[in-house]
Amino acid sequence: MTPLIAGNWKMNGLHPATAEVSAVAAGLAAAPARGEVEVLICPPATLMFPVRDAAAGTAVVLGGQNCHSERQGAFTGEVSAEMLADAGAKYCIVGHSERRETCSERNVEISAKADACHRAGITPIVCVGETRWERNAGKAVQAVAAMLAASLPEESTGPLVVAYEPIWAVGTGVVPSTGEIAEVHAALKALAGPGVRVLYGGSVKPENAAEILATPGVDGALIGGASLKAEDFLGIIAAAR
Ligand code: PGA
């Protein structure tokens, strides 16, 4: 499976940040690839079109960070999967822990969003992860598997990516051991089925990327902070090639 290296810019980036996309594209073109890798950038909604333009004709693929489950309508402030597709998105993150926490998104809504992605011809990246409490209680695998089972698309089949992001590792600089990652990924792969890439996310940096990406069951990474600067992001991509 071709590894997927996905950048999640979160609520970061004004118009000049599109220069980072050009720098990533230039870096990819300049470095001789030892192996295939798919590179995705998920900017905030305001930057979808300029990032699409900066990525046009390059190896960088565009994705969204969230979508609504409905196609269109009276949902002030929301963006549909069709709108993301219209802006050039090929993927959309759904169920990120920050949305589960700050926007109270539930599994049933995330499942509907994943269905909406398929309806719009986009690949959903379904995120799951345990709390620190669940990890300490020895319930991480159980919690994450239950979350994924309830968050998968219900009404549609189509291409799918899963991201394992332990909540306590997101933005903290703390990462699970490779043994812990491998254990969860094995469980998620069994649930998601063959051909589904399972990414690891949570404090991935150029310094730890090679070890994480070499862990059994890890098919790529979802990167927050270290995706904002082309140099860091390229360092992680290099570890995947
Ligand atoms: P981080 O974020 O790389 O900054 O820890 C990962 C994510 O939230 O996708």
Nearest to 222 by CA among 21, 33, 48, 42: 42
State how far the Cα of 46 lies from the Cα of 61, in Å rounded to an integer. Answer: 17
Name beta bridge partners: 199.
163
Report how far ligand 1's centroid is from the alpha carbon of 165 (Å): 8
Alpha-carbon span 106 to 241, nearest angstrom: 35
Q: Which residues are catalytic?
A: 96, 165
Question: Residue 175 C-alpha to ligand 1 middle, in angstroms?
Answer: 11
Spell out which residues line ligand 1, taking CB within 6 angstroms: 8, 165, 170-171, 201-204, 222-226
Atom 3 of ligand 1: nearest residue by CA position: 224
Q: What phi and psi values does residue 76 have, to the nearest 5 degrees?
A: -55, 130
Collapsed DSSP state (helix, strand, coil) of residue 4: strand
Instruction: Look at residue 149 in the predicted model and tell me its pLDDT.
Output: 97
Which amino acid makes up residue 47? L
- Whole-angstrom distance, CA of residue 4 vs CA of residue 118: 19
The token pair that represents 183 in the structure block: 């254990």
pLDDT tens string, the chain, 241 residues long: the values are 999 999 999 999 999 999 999 999 999 999 876 678 999 999 999 999 999 999 999 999 999 999 999 999 999 999 999 999 999 999 999 999 999 999 999 999 999 999 999 999 999 999 999 999 999 999 999 999 999 999 999 999 999 999 999 999 999 999 999 999 999 999 999 999 999 999 999 999 999 999 999 999 999 999 999 999 999 999 999 999 8
Pocket test for ligand 1, best of 94, 222, 227 (most atoms within 8 A of CB): 222
Query: How many angstroms is it from 73 CA to the middle of ligand 1?
Result: 31
Instruction: Identify any residues that bridge with 124 across adjacent strands, giving them in sequence order.
Output: 92
Instruction: Among 5, 8, 161, name the best residue to mutate to test ligand 1's pocket (greatest count of ligand atoms within 8 A of Cβ).
Output: 8
Contacts of residue 146, defined as CB under 8 A and 6 or more positions apart, other chains included, come to none
